[in-house]
Each structure stands twice: as C-alpha cells, then as structure tokens.
Structure 1
Amino acid sequence: MREQLNFYIDGKWVPPVKPRTHDVINPSNEEPIGRISLGSAADVDKAVAAARKAFETFSQTSVDTRKALLDKVIAIYQRRMPEMAEAISSEMGAPLPLANAAQAPAGLGYLMDARKQLDTFEFESDYGKGRRILREPIGVIGMITPWNWPMNQICAKVGPALAAGCTMVLKPSELAPLNAIVFAEILDEAGVPAGVFNLVNGDGPGVGEALSKHPDVDMMSFTGSTRAGTAVMKNAADGIKRVALELGGKSPNIILEDADLKKAVAGGMMHMANNTGQSCNAPSRMLAPRSKYAEIVAIAAATANAIKVQAPSTAEQGAIGPLANANQFAKVQGLIQKGIDEGAKVAAGGVGRPEGFNRGYYVKPTVFADVNNKMTIAQEEIFGPVLVIIPYDTEEEAIAIANDTPYGLAAYVQGPQEKARTVAKKLRAGNVHINGAFGGMGTPFGGYKQSGLGREGGHFGLEEFTEVKAAIGWGE
C-alpha cells in the first residue's frame, strides 16, 4: 500500500492543516491500495499563497528557461513511465497494456506538445503600425482533474501552463490520486521552482469549491462532469475568473449507407469500449441506416461478445478491466436497467457482472438495439462500455439525431470520404473523426454546448493560459 498523507506545497511535502485520511480503492478487488489526506480550504489558502508568490518571478522567466525546464520534466517522466502506468492501472482499473501504451504516454504526449509549442509560439507580435501584441501568463491556475484518463488531463493543463509561465494548484480526483503524487515527485526532481506547482488532494466540497472560489486564483481549468463543471463556473463567477471546461459527451457515430459495415461497426464498438467506456469522447450512440440496421446490430453484438473482461494486472491486449469506482459501477448498472425498462432491446451484455467475477467493478460490454434518441440511455452519458444503436432513414435525419443532444464534444462519420466530409461540416461537435481517423498531439480538443469551453492541445491550449495585452505606441 502506498501512503502519502502530505501535500506538495511551495516545493515541500507538508502535512494537512486538519488531518483527514482517505483510502484509495483498487477497483479490481475493492480493497485499499493507498491512503491520502483530504485537504480543506486552509490547505488551499497555503497552496494559492505559494503560487501567487512564485508567479512574481516565474512569469518573468525566459522562453528558453521554460524550454529547459520542460525538457527535464519530460526526461524524468519518460524514466518513470512504467511506475506511472502501474499506479494508474491499480487505482482506476485500466488494463496494464492500456496503461503502458496509452494512459501514461498520453500525459507524456501533452508535455512534449507544450515543449514543442515554445519553439514557434509568438508571445510578442506586431499588429499594424506601432502596436505590439503581448501574450502574457494569466496568473495562478486552479486545476481540477478526473479519474478516467488522469495523467492525460493533468498534463494537458500543467504542460501548457508551465510553458506560458503560469503557476498552479492541482486537485486531482481523490479516487485516483496516486499518479498525481508520482507526477509531483517528477516535477520536484526536475527542479520546478518552489510554488510554481502545488498539489492538494481532496474532494469537491473540501478543496474544489475553495479553489474555484479563491480570490487569488485567476483561472480555473476543470475536466469532469457537466454537473460539476457548472458548479465550478458558478463558484468562479464572483471573481470573474476565466474558466476552461472539458466536460461530458454523448458522441454520435454515423454509419453511412455505403460504409464498410464490418470495419466501421466493429471499430466503433471497440473504440467505445476502450478504457471500459470511460472516455468523454467515446462514440456511444451509433446511428445506423434502417435498411442495414439488423446487420449492424448483429456485427456490434458479436464484437461486444468477443471483448474479453480481465483483471488489469494480467489482462491481454484489447481486453477491458473494471469500471474505476463503486459509484460508477452503480451508475452504469442503473442505466443499463433503465434502458431495459424503457423498452430497448439488449443485443449483447446486460446487467450484472460478467461470468467469473463476483467482486470488483466489472461490467458486461453491452449493446442496445431498438433505441430512440429520447430514451435515457441515448441522452445521458453512461460512461461505461454500453453502445446504443439508433436507426435513421435519411442522412438529414441522421444529422438531426446526432445534433439532438446537450453535448458536443466529439462525433464520428463512417463512409465515402466526400460524403463524410459533407456530413462532418453539419455536426455540432468540437472534434469530428472521419473513417476512424484520430488527431495527434497538438490537435485542439474541446467541445460545443454543454461539453465545455476552450480547447486543449497545440497552440490553442497554450493560448488558454495567456492574457492578450495590446501595447500601443510600441515603436515604428
């Protein structure tokens, strides 16, 4: 069991103001694997004060200084990546092959992207005669990150914030905090100046609310549920803080009439089930032409039935592990039952644990047929390996169904390239993936509507952490 009861504040590991411990649970066996402290507003005050003081000097550092710092962070992260993957796997249930190939490397990718941006990002540029545009670090950033892709989301914020010259206070999910502790050790070893990065573990009421309300925090960067993101916005409103939000999704996957059905449907099901369906951009609503609906349901069901559910520590490539925590398990089971109660047909999977499991938060890869877009399972983000398949008669109807959601994070289109491009332009989503294509690091990530505000990745992500100053009369 790993125990870290202190917080990383002002370059040191310090005890909480008011001791309150919390066990970290392994979702594969429901047993404790770690213990942390849950912080309070008093701990947030200490961390923000350290960040505010450090901002005075760190904001004035040169781009070359920040390049060198990120190079050190990247090198140490690379060395400790196996340890990072192990921590993520044990605390949120990602199979080790996924943790080693995607979960831990995703964080490294965002750090490398932030470093790359510093080679070309224009912190100063001329804008007509006598006007200089200065992009300056916005200040102290409050960061709240989730448990589903923990290092991906931490590094999507910390990397560009460091690159911009900001200082920060991070509250990771208390359900998966061990990876963040390893990350704090990496930054400490890299020589990140005291107070630039601070880590306070805790829950939403104890730390998240205090951070988003704090008068000395200039910006909140939050990833999580739309419900919690709304609370962050409300808490930040009194201080007129900038707020960046990466929230939920209910992403449509339109299978066009003349798509390669086996490839498109099987690929869509596998992508949706990746990370046990716990990805905000998962293609969880498959829209199928009615003329080929039965064939599509059959392919999806066969694919779901072939997915192996295994313990994270011994899982094969392509297998899925448990859901990350007890609350998520209860939510997913409840929504599967809700789908049944509302009249959807279970084509694969269903309620209960898979055969062979009597403990751990394991669920069956599930496919629902005979779904309409008004059903709960078509509108709510399930965040589990549950695919709903909705029929359509025309492409116009498919587009209307795709856009008939409060979310707009991602969308997917499968079919002839030109036709898919035409459909993609009409979808209200921040990312549209055509025929299974995925963007590399630097591709802007974020959503329309209730899926969030702002973008992560590339120069878009770096811009989020800067203010624009127009210096007029700068010179001829």
Structure 2
Amino acid sequence: MRTVLIPAIDAGLALQAARPGSPCAGRYPATDPHRQDSRWIPFPKEELDRIQEKNMRSIDQIYIDGDFAPATGEDVLDIINPATEKTIGTYRMASREDARRGVAAAKRAQPRLAATRVSERIEMLRSLQSSVLARTDDIRDATIEEYGGPVSRAKWISQYSSDCFGFAAETLASFAFERRAGVSTVHMEPVGVSTLIAPWNASAGTICSKLASALAAGCASVIKPSELSGMQNQVVAEALHAAGLPPGAINIVTGRGNDVGDELTTNPDVRRVSFTGSTATGKVIAKAGIDTMKRVTLAMSGKSPAILLDDAEFSQAIPMALSAGFQNNGQACIAGTRILVPRARLKEANEIVQSSVAAFRVGDPADPGTTVGPVASATQFERIQRYIAAGLSQGASLLAGGPGKPEGLDAGFFVKPTIFTEVTNDMDIARDEIFGPVLVLIPYDGEENAVRIANDSLYGLEAYIYSANLERAQAVARRIHAGTVLINRTAPDLLAPFGGVRQSGIGREFGTFGIESFLEAKTITLA
C-alpha cells in the first residue's frame, strides 16, 4: 500500500474529516516540515484521496426569506485551494430570477423592519454577534482554504466579522434618529431595501460590516458576495440564519455580475447599493443605479502611499510599512504598496528591506510562521507576473523577489515577495493596483516632493506616515488626499469613517457614518 508522510496532527484532522458534518471537512493535510506540530507519520494515500473526495464541498444554496433554497443558475464553479491548486468543492451560481426573489423578500420585510424600535435592533445585532462568533473557527478555516489568507489575517477577519455587530450595537445605543435644525425637526428614516456587494478578499468581514450598518438603520438587505468565495459565504449564511432574524431581513444571492449583479443594482425596488471591490466594477454599478436614482456608496481600489519622513526610526518604521504592504498577501485595497523614502536614506532603507524580506516565510497559509501565502487564483498569479516583468522592463531595480514562484513551491499560486527600488511614480508598478505581494520604494527630495508624489495618483483610499514627530506627521497627513491616514500604525479604527476619495470611492462606512449612509433625512416644519 502506497503511503505519504504527513504531520500527525493532520492525520487526525483527516480522520475527523471522514465523519459527516465534521468542521474539518474539505481540509487538505499540510506538508510544511517547519510546522511545530510536524511529527511525521505515514498515511495511506488511497485513504487520504478517498477522504478528500468524500469531503468535497458542493454548495448549491442561496438564502431567501429566512430559509435556504436551491440556487437555480446554470453556472457551477470549481472552488480551488490556492495553496495546492486542487479542487476542494463546487459552487452553483444563482440566477436573475433568484435575485428578484431576494429583492421581493426584502421588500416584504422592509415595513416591519423600519418600524422596529432601537432596542429591538440592538437585540438583533447582539444575536448576530453571538451567532457569528460561534462560527469564528469555521470562518477562519474557510478564509485560509479558499483564498490562502495567512492564518494571522484569517483570525483577524473571523473575529472582526462578529465584532462588526457589537460595534454597530454600541453606536446605535446613542444614535440620534431625531434632530433639530432651525425651527424644524429632522427625522432620520431607513432608505429602504439595500443591496450589499462584498469582495472575495474579505468576504465575511465585508458582509458583516455592511449588514450591521444596514440593520442598525432599519434596512432589509440582499447580499451579493463574490462568486469566488463560496465556502466563506456558506459559513456566514449559516451563522446569520442561526441568529433568527425576521424572514426577509437578510437575503443572500451569489451569482455573476451580468445577471445577478445587474438585477440587484437596477431593480427599482432596491433603494440603496453599498459596494466594495474594484474601481472598474464600481463605475459599472454607479452607472447602473442612475436610472432609478439609487443611493450608491463605493469602496474601491487603492494605491496607498507609505511615507517614511526623514526623522523616522527606520528599524521600527520599515517593518510596519512592509506589514502594511504585504497584508493579506498583498491582496488588500488598503495595502501600502508605494513606500516613499528620503533619497538621502534610500541605501539604508534598501538594506533594512532586504534583510527583512529575507526573513519572510512563504508557504502554507495555515502555518502561523508563514508571512506570505498564495494569491487567490491562477489569473491573479499571471497578472502579478506581468507587473513584475513590467517593472523590470521599465527600469526599476529589483531589491527582492522577482519573477516566478519561490523555490520549492511548485504547486500553489505562490508569488515571491517582490520589492523594487529606484522607482519613479510614472511606472506601471507605481500607478496601478497590482493586488499582490509587490511593493515599490520611491525616493523623494524633501517633504514637499513627498506630498506631491503621494498625491500623484488616481486613488485616495488610505495612506501611512511614519515619523518621530507626531505634530509634523499630522501636518503632512492633512495634506494627503486620502480617506484615511494612519500615523505610526497599521491597524484601522473600526469606529471611525472608512472610504476613499477620487477613484477609490464615494461615501463612508463604519460607526455613525456607516449607519447614516442607510438613512434619509426628512424635515418636518410647523407653522
């Protein structure tokens, strides 16, 4: 009998996966000898193949009117584990008719939801927080398996998903739905049925964040997650269902943009669209909503600058800048992919960057020691390779990484963590959102030049500033064209407004701004 060597802990997981309903279903054994739990044992290959085949996930449901129902679309997509390139499941798409049913269910639920008291909405938000928290581990595992999110990022996303509802409940408790303006009273009322569109790279967190604000405002929703996040979507849908909200308050319909997406952004019964994704898709959605004058907010692409001021402590600032740039394997709209360095200190920065990246571990995203996992798909891998080639052909100096896969990682969509230096801001690698582990170091001459380069972009989502002088850093931050500027930190404030300027977006999410984006102001003035 042919056997393969796998870590002992994964042999246990494989055997657990053989049990129907096991949360380990679909997990592939890791083969990274660096894992702390890697006491290797032989495991029968035929048995391993049988377990994996048995536990192939077949996801073919949507969620409408408080219950799961079969998706009726014709397209069935393969779910690929990007760390192994193996098929781990299939995902049936919904149809345009499914989307219409979702909107109809939300429309029926809207009057009742709009009439709920604040205390009732807080109770619903707390129930959602609890039910999503109960599935934290499953959200984490799906995030790792389905798009290769490193375990540290996957843990953060899974915790953040439940926290969103808690933050919304706290904000709602003191939110003013009635205000005075002059001699008038202003009533803040739910805008109505809302479409919530989430991307594959942060599916669970984005779904929960948007839903929390919509529900706090009293809006019934139809959620369209990415068709590339089937496992994440299923876990989240099950968690939301377990919260026991009124039928129709939450509906989830996943499908292609040209039918399901089109229906959800043009249907006259939808009054609000909240979208997170690429700028190209956001423009299509904005145009689609014009005919019925929907309120549309867009959180889109970025090419965020990370400015190292000349007084920054590079030994501390550069590791933070690299962390911000390589977060989520570089697949984050907020990634700080343009690192601006004082020309006089470029050599010093190059040396620290090289030594830092040399210590990175690329590999199994489930391994806590992994710094950079795979990118999400073959398509994404090829796109990133084209940009690396463009950087070389346009004259940038390669400081780390480069074309191809890391040594020893033939399977999986792994990209070498790549950094170019001596980059000018007119190069493709400095202009375009690559969405992968590729960063650029751009030298600047003086603070004015740094601000000019930072603002010389189509985008304006987020920026990072590193300085020993907080007063100076704040003065620079006020001059940067971005929705958010983080100073000497990489973690966002999840109660502060989030969104972009220019081609990074329209509108804001999170906290009071997130709730208000789902409300309309009605003025009542007495004689």
Instruction: Give me the TM-score of the superposition, normalised by structure 1.
Output: 0.96
Q: Report if aligned partners of 2:362, 2:370 keep a CA contact under 8 Å in 1.
A: no
User: In the alignment, which of 212, 234, 237 is matched to residue 181 of structure 1?
Assistant: 234
User: In the alignment, which of 379, 384, 394 is matched to residue 332 of structure 1?
Assistant: 384
Structure 2 counterparts to residues 92-241 of structure 1, below 5 A: 92-100=147-155, 102-129=156-183, 131-241=184-294
Task: Provide the aligned length of Structure 1 versus Structure 2.
Answer: 471
Change (3 A) 1:25 1:364: same
Change (3 A) 1:317 1:163: farther
The answer for the alignment partner of 1:36 in structure 2 is 91
Residue 437 of structure 1 and its aligned partner are, at CA, apart by 5.5
Larger displacement relative to structure 2 (203-212 or 13-22): 13-22
Provide the C-alpha distance between the structure 2 equivalents of 1:440 and 1:378, rounded to a whole number of angstroms: 27
Q: Report if aligned partners of 2:320, 2:490 keep a CA contact under 8 Å in 1.
A: no
Residue 306 of structure 1 and its aligned partner are, at CA, apart by 1.4
Residue 171 of structure 1 and its aligned partner are, at CA, apart by 1.0
The answer for the alignment partner of 2:433 in structure 1 is 381
User: In the alignment, which of 472, 480, 485 is matched to residue 419 of structure 1?
Assistant: 472
Q: Report if aligned partners of 1:406, 1:450 keep a CA contact under 8 Å in 2.
A: yes
Residue 31 of structure 1 and its aligned partner are, at CA, apart by 1.6
Instruction: Indicate yes or no: 2:335 matched with 1:282.
Output: yes
Provide the C-alpha distance between the structure 1 equivalents of 2:79 and 2:117, rounded to a whole number of angstroms: 40
Residue 83 of structure 1 and its aligned partner are, at CA, apart by 1.0
Instruction: Indicate yes or no: 2:146 matched with 1:58.
Output: no
Provide the C-alpha distance between the structure 1 equivalents of 2:219 and 2:413, rounded to a whole number of angstroms: 39
Structure 2 counterparts to residues 81-100 of structure 1, below 5 A: 81-100=136-155
Residue 17 of structure 1 and its aligned partner are, at CA, apart by 3.3
Provide the secondary structure at the position in 2 that maps to 1:411: strand
Residue 3 of structure 1 and its aligned partner are, at CA, apart by 2.0
Show CA shifts across 1:249-292 (max 9, x none): 10111111111011111220122112101111111001111111
User: In the alignment, which of 334, 353, 357 is matched to residue 409 of structure 2?
Assistant: 357
Show CA shifts across 1:32-83 (max 9, x none): 2222211221111111111111102111111111111111111111111111
Q: Whose relative contact order is higher, 1 or 2, with alpha carbons under 8 Å and at least 6 apart? A: 1
Provide the C-alpha distance between the structure 1 equivalents of 2:290 and 2:181, rounded to a whole number of angstroms: 32
The answer for the alignment partner of 1:402 in structure 2 is 454
User: In the alignment, which of 15, 26, 34 is matched to residue 81 of structure 2?
Assistant: 26
Residue 167 of structure 1 and its aligned partner are, at CA, apart by 0.7
Q: Report if aligned partners of 2:191, 2:219 keep a CA contact under 8 Å in 1.
A: yes
Q: Report if aligned partners of 1:278, 1:383 keep a CA contact under 8 Å in 2.
A: yes
Q: Report if aligned partners of 1:174, 1:203 keep a CA contact under 8 Å in 2.
A: yes
Q: Report if aligned partners of 2:129, 2:164 keep a CA contact under 8 Å in 1.
A: no
Provide the secondary structure at the position in 2 that maps to 1:300: helix
Instruction: Indicate yes or no: 2:337 matched with 1:295.
Output: no
Q: Report if aligned partners of 1:50, 1:195 keep a CA contact under 8 Å in 2.
A: yes
Provide the C-alpha distance between the structure 2 equivalents of 1:429 and 1:440, rounded to a whole number of angstroms: 15
Show CA shifts across 1:220-277 (max 9, x none): 1110000010011111111111111000110111111111011111220122112101
Show CA shifts across 1:138-158 (max 9, x none): 111111110111122111200
Change (3 A) 1:37 1:155: same
The answer for the alignment partner of 2:7 in structure 1 is none
Partner amino acid for 2:502? K
Provide the C-alpha distance between the structure 2 equivalents of 1:238 and 1:360, rounded to a whole number of angstroms: 44
Q: Report if aligned partners of 1:287, 1:392 keep a CA contact under 8 Å in 2.
A: yes
Partner amino acid for 1:267? M
Provide the C-alpha distance between the structure 2 equivalents of 1:273 and 1:106, rounded to a whole number of angstroms: 19
Provide the C-alpha distance between the structure 1 equivalents of 2:259 and 2:355, rounded to a whole number of angstroms: 45
Q: Report if aligned partners of 1:97, 1:317 keep a CA contact under 8 Å in 2.
A: no
Provide the secondary structure at the position in 1 that maps to 2:173: coil
Provide the C-alpha distance between the structure 2 equivalents of 1:112 and 1:333, rounded to a whole number of angstroms: 41
Show CA shifts across 1:149-202 (max 9, x none): 112211120011111110111111111122222222122111111111111111
Uncovered stretches (5+) of structure 2, i.e. residues with no partner: 1-55
Provide the secondary structure at the position in 2 that maps to 1:426: coil
Show CA shifts across 1:275-331 (max 9, x none): 101111111001111111111122112212211112123x12452211112221111
Provide the C-alpha distance between the structure 2 equivalents of 1:123 and 1:164, rounded to a whole number of angstroms: 9
Q: Report if aligned partners of 2:130, 2:162 keep a CA contact under 8 Å in 1.
A: no
Provide the C-alpha distance between the structure 1 equivalents of 2:325 and 2:471, rounded to a whole number of angstroms: 25
Show CA shifts across 1:373-425 (max 9, x none): 00000000011111101111111011000000000001111112121111111
Provide the secondary structure at the position in 1 that maps to 2:83: coil
Provide the secondary structure at the position in 2 that maps to 1:459: helix
Structure 2 counterparts to residues 67-86 of structure 1, below 5 A: 67-86=122-141
Q: Give the number of the structure whose alpha-carbon radius of gyration is greater.
A: 2
Partner amino acid for 2:111? E
